[in-house]
Chains A and B, each alone.
Chain A
Amino acid sequence: MTGAQIAAAVIPRRSSRSAAADRGFRFLMLGAVGAAFVGLAAIVYDFASDGLPVISWDFVTSFPSRVIPESAGIRSAILGTVYLMLICAFLVVPLGVATAVYLEEYADRRRWWNRLIEVNIQNLAAVPSVVYGILGLAFIVRGPLGMGPVLLAGAITLALLVLPVVIIVAREAIRAVPSSIREGSLALGATQWQTVWKQVLPGSIAGIATGVILALSRAIGETAPLLVVGAGVSLRFDPDGLGSSFTALPIQIFAWTQDPNREFVARAAGAIVVLMALLLVMNSIAIWLRNRYEQKW
Chain B
Amino acid sequence: MAEPRLAAASGAQGARVDLTRAPSARSRFEGGIRIALFLAAGLSVLTTLAIVGSLLVETVRFLGTVSVGDFLFGTKWSPTFAGEQQSFGVLPLLWGTMYLSLIALAVAVPLGLLSAIYLSEYARPGVRRIVKPVLELLAGVPTIVFGYFALTFFTPEVLRDALHIEVGVFNGLAAGIIMGLLVLPTIASVAEDAMTSVPASLREGAFGLGASKLQVSLRVVFPAALSGIVAALILGASRAIGETVLILVAGGQTPNLGLDPRESFQSMAAFIAAQARGDIPVGSVEYLTIFAVGFTLFVLTLVLNFASIRLVNRFRQVYE
Which residues of A line the B interface, CB within 8 A?
Answer: 2-4, 6-7, 10-11, 14, 18, 21-22, 25-26, 28-33, 35-37, 39-40, 42-43, 46-47, 50, 94-95, 98-99, 101-103, 106-107, 116-117, 119-124, 126-135, 137-139, 142-143, 160, 163-164, 167, 191-193, 217-218, 220-224, 227-228, 230, 250, 253-254, 257-258, 265, 268-269, 272, 275-276, 279, 283
Most buried by B among A30, A123, A131: A131
Are B58's CB and A138's CB within 8 A?
A: yes
A253 / chain B contacts, CB cutoff of 8 Å? 144-145, 148
Are B110's CB and A32's CB within 8 A?
A: yes
A224 to B268, CA, bound (A): 12
Q: Answer whether A95 and B43 are a contact pair too, CB < 8 Å, given A36-B181, A130-B294, A221-B142.
A: yes
**Chain A: minimal CB distance from B271 (Å):** 9
**A-binding segment of B15-23, B79-87, B298-306:** B298-306
**A-binding segment of B65-73, B241-249, B257-265:** B241-249
- The chain B residue with its CB closest to the CB of A250 is B144
The 8 Å CB contact of B37, one of A6, A7, A101, A250, is A101
A254 to B146, CA, bound (A): 11
Q: Answer whether A221 and B143 are a contact pair too, CB < 8 Å, given A30-B118, A121-B44, A227-B276.
A: yes
Are B276's CB and A32's CB within 8 A?
A: no
**A-binding segment of B2-10, B88-96, B149-157:** B149-157
Are B118's CB and A123's CB within 8 A?
A: no
A220 / chain B contacts, CB cutoff of 8 Å? 142
Given A102-B40, A223-B245, A275-B145, 16 more A-B residue pairs with CB atoms under 8 Å apart are A3-B204, A7-B207, A32-B112, A32-B114, A33-B115, A33-B118, A47-B148, A128-B269, A130-B242, A131-B55, A133-B272, A160-B47, A223-B144, A224-B244, A257-B144, A257-B147
Query: What are 27 contact pairs spanning A and B, CB under 8 A?
Result: A6-B204, A7-B207, A21-B214, A39-B138, A39-B184, A46-B148, A46-B152, A94-B40, A98-B36, A107-B41, A117-B42, A120-B45, A126-B239, A128-B241, A134-B55, A138-B55, A160-B47, A163-B47, A193-B33, A227-B245, A253-B144, A253-B145, A257-B147, A257-B148, A257-B151, A257-B152, A272-B144
A133 / chain B contacts, CB cutoff of 8 Å? 272-273, 276
Are A50's CB and B138's CB within 8 A?
A: no
Say whether B122 faces chain A, with CB atoms less than 8 Å apart. yes
Are B204's CB and A29's CB within 8 A?
A: no
Are A18's CB and B148's CB within 8 A?
A: no
Are A127's CB and B54's CB within 8 A?
A: no
Are B115's CB and A32's CB within 8 A?
A: yes
Are B244's CB and A223's CB within 8 A?
A: yes
The 8 Å CB contact of A29, one of B122, B239, B245, is B122
**Chain B: minimal CB distance from A55 (Å):** 16
- The chain A residue with its CB closest to the CB of B29 is A193
A39 to B60, CA, bound (A): 43
Are B48's CB and A134's CB within 8 A?
A: no
A279 to B204, CA, bound (A): 43
B272 / chain A contacts, CB cutoff of 8 Å? 130, 133-134, 224, 228
A222 / chain B contacts, CB cutoff of 8 Å? 142
Are A224's CB and B305's CB within 8 A?
A: no
**Chain B: minimal CB distance from A4 (Å):** 5
Say whether B159 faces chain A, with CB atoms less than 8 Å apart. no
Q: Sorted from nearest, which 4 A-B pairs have the closest CB atoms? A: A221-B142, A128-B242, A3-B204, A3-B207
